[in-house]
Every structure is written in structure tokens, then in C-alpha cells.
Amino acid sequence: MAEPEQLRFVLVEGKKRQIRRMCEQVGLKVVGLKRIRIGKVALGNLPVGQWRYLGRVSDLNECSGGASNARAVQYVTVTCTLSR
């Protein structure tokens, strides 16, 4: 069996199973999804099920869009592992 391929999606707003449905429409099967970033805050090497404190107040502002801009667009970056 061939090695799985990966795609990276950047979403402004994700709907339930949106990436899986988009891939199905072009004949691709999603076998795994991993959120790697929310806004400017990256997951990094954080193990599954673990958490970390945000290091600076600016980390929280980058993640939330800032207290003064509640309507800021926050992109979610996801890697998607595929099989054909």
C-alpha cells in the first residue's frame, strides 16, 4: 500500500466534518486530522492529551483576536492525512 499523503488546510470557520466532505467530493479519503495552529498560536511538540500555559499575555491575544477586537478573524490550520 502506498504511503499516505498530507494536505494542509487553513480555515476561517470550520463546519462539522467539512474537510472530510470536501476531500470526498474529489475522491480522497481522510484517515487523520490534526489541528496544528489556532491564529498565531502553534501547537508545537505538545503530546496528545497534554496542555501548556500560554507564556505571555500576547499569546492569549493572538489566539483570541485580542480583547479590543472580538470580531477578528482567526484561522485554524489543520493537517490532513489522506489515502486514495
With a CB cutoff of 8 Å and minimum separation 6, the contacts of 79 are: 6, 7, 8, 9, 33, 34, 36
Instruction: Show me where the domains of the chain are located.
Output: 5-83
Q: Output the pLDDT for position 8.
A: 87
List pLDDT tens digits, range 4-49. 688 888 888 777 788 889 888 998 888 888 888 877 778 788 888 8
DSSP 17-61: THHHHHHHHTT-EEEEEEEEEETTEE-TTPPTT-----SSHHHHH
Q: Per-residue b/e over 62-84, b at no fewer than 16 CB within 10 Å?
A: beeeeeeeeeeebeebbebeeee
